[in-house]
Amino acid sequence: MTGSPWLTALAGAALGALAGWLSRAALKRVLRASDPVFYSVFAGGIFARLLLLIAAVWQLRRESYTIIVLFIAPMIVVQMFFEVFPLKHGPKSDT
């Protein structure tokens, strides 16, 4: 994974895409559920992504800081891309 900077960034982006997609799929599945269920899945997704970030840094702890940043930055940016667009077909409100 740390053979080249581009490969490191691509691996981080791929892991971020997987984590973002799984989080979004879980939220979409419970979108119409009750508030406690929705918020528990929401909080669980945040903690899961945080644990994934910690695990990635732990795996790269012997690498240089440049490699760690090249892996983590695309991972975080790609995860945030999945949060930019709102989920469709949510509960309708009369506001």
∠ Cα 46 52 53 (to 5°): 90
Q: Return the pLDDT at 84.
A: 81
- 43 within domain boundaries: yes
pLDDT at 1 > cutoff 70 = no
Give the pLDDT confidence score for residue 4 in this predicted structure: 85
Q: Which residues constitute the domain of residue 72?
A: 5-82
Does the pLDDT at position 93 exceed 70?
A: no
* Domains in the chain, number: 1
Q: Residue 42: inside a domain, yes or no?
A: yes
- With 0.85 as the threshold, say if the pTM is over it: no
Which two three-digit tokens encode residue 80?
């945030």
* 71 has a pLDDT exceeding 90: yes
Residue 93 lies in a domain: no
Does residue 38 sit within a domain? yes
